[in-house]
Structure 1
Amino acid sequence: MATRLRCLVVEDEAMIADMLEEFLNEIGHEVVASAATFPSAVILARESECDVAILDINLNGEPSYAIGDILRERDIPFMFATGYGAGDLPGRFAAVPVLTKPYQIGVLSKAIENSARAAGGPPAA
């Protein structure tokens, strides 16, 4: 079984956040914090004890790039998520994985495993 990771979810659509949490639990991970707004996401990015984060690129019209910057400063791996296509990410995020919505559980599982491994986290068993 893969290592159980603590996840931060940043998603402004409640139904999508619920589905993502269900998928994460199903593949053996735990959602330790969740935010639906930019201000709450900033606080959680600074303070939450998580191993990996999934950030909706567009939070009620505001890009989540600053949240990615905070997570990067803390050496917490993260990925962006979008229903609109990856588009043009700022160059500093060129290597950050982008998940497309609707989520596919297998793709989500692999992306989290790869992010944790790339960050030097424990390898999946």
Structure 2
Amino acid sequence: MAPAPSAPSLTILVVEDEPIIALNTEMMLSTIGFENVEVVGSVAEAMALIDRLSIEFAILDFSLGSETSIPVAVRLCEEKVPIVITTGFEEVDLPPACAGTPILRKPYRLGELETVVASFR
């Protein structure tokens, strides 16, 4: 009898255009126990990953240079994938599809990220 196929591994998506913050976030997620983390720096890269991977949750930097992560946020929210928005801004205007999305103010620490991630499980 053949073994049952395994479930696809889930991926944590990090969309962050600042390399140092992206690396720091990836290291924090590793500390928390997540090994399958994909980091991208643009909306186009994020959408391509979402098309081919099963995303467990996503950490999205609101401002990505000349664009925002809102298109990624809306897509994931509509697909019922938990997200958190990170930002240095005081206010961010999220679309109705993402109402109630947690906002993590930069700079955030490991404990703050761990608390938000724990709410997804």
Check whether TM > 0.5: yes
**In the alignment, is the contact (CA less than 8 A) between 2:77 and 2:97 conserved in 1?**
no
With the length of structure 2 as denominator, give the TM-score of the two structures.
0.82
Distance 2:80 2:23 in 1: 26
Note if contact 2:60-2:69 (Cα within 8 Å) is conserved in structure 1.
yes
Q: Deviations over 1:49-76 (max 9, x none)?
A: 2211000111112111110121123221
Percent same amino acid among aligned pairs? Answer: 37
- The aligned length equals 112
Q: Which runs of 4+ in 1 moved over 4 A?
A: none
Aligned with 2:112: secondary structure? helix
Correspondence list, 1:12-23, <5 A: 12-23=17-28
1:70 aligns with one of 58, 72, 75 = 75
The yes-or-no answer on 1:107 pairing with 2:112 is yes
Alpha-carbon RMSD: 1.7
Find the structure with the greater CA-based Rg: 2
Cα contact 1:82–1:100 (8 A) shared by 2: yes
From 9, 13, 28, the equivalent of 1:8 is 13
Mark the CA change 1:103 to 1:88 in structure 2 (over 3 Å): closer, same or farther: same
Code of the aligned partner of 1:8: L
Taking structure 1 as the reference length, what is the TM-score of the superposition? 0.80
Any stretches of 5+ residues in structure 1 without a counterpart?
Answer: 118-125
